[in-house]
Amino acid sequence: MTHTGNEIIIILIWGFAATAALSGVMFAAQRLGYSRLSLPFLIGTLFSGERSSANAAGLLVYLLGGWLFSFVYYFVFASIGRTGWWLGALLGAAHGFVLLVMLLPLLPHLHPRMASEYEGPGGRRTLQPPGFLALNYGYRTPLTTILAHAIYGAILGAQLAVT
């Protein structure tokens, strides 16, 4: 196998491991009552209004997204010519921060089943909007989300070598 082929396999393996760790932290935060944010559920409800189907579809898309983001992290590491768990953790924390500050607040405008901050639930729009920093899902949600993404980045930063 070529050098590039080996790198792709390593990125896929560690991307899966990092996504599993991120998912584990987010799931534990939900079960412990620190947050109600479920990214797989939010993604899945884009495709289905049925809870079990939404969870299944969302988890699949979420895992694929975790793999895709591992390539983005690799390209960032390669472009700066450095890796390391601390650099990955910083990149992951920034990733989580952008998710909370920019992407999740836009979700009500794009999601067919999510109510907005300005209009309550009605018709198909029954999901609560995340709000700024996803605080509508719990006041510890920003902390757990940034921590989970920092762990994701730390795993990738520690394991992905750039040449």
pLDDT of residue 51: 87
Q: Confirm whether pTM is higher than 0.85.
A: yes
Domain count of the fold of the chain = 1
Residue 38 parent element (H or E): none
**For residue 5, is pLDDT > 90?**
no
Q: Map residue 124 onto helix, strand or coil.
A: coil
Q: What amino acid occupies position 95? A: H
Residue 87 belongs to what domain range?
Answer: 3-159
Work out the average pLDDT over 17-38: 96
Q: Are residues 42 and 144 in contact, defined by beta-carbon separation less than 8 angstroms?
A: no
Rounded to 10 degrees, the C-alpha dihedral 133/136/142/143 comes to 160
Weakest-pLDDT range from 6-20, 52-66, 97-111, 119-133: 119-133
Residue 120's pLDDT is 62
Condensed to tens digits (0 to 9), the pLDDT of residues 69-92 reads 999 999 999 999 999 999 999 999
pLDDT reported for residue 117: 73
Mean pLDDT across the stretch 125-148?
Answer: 93
Beta bridge partners of 114: 127
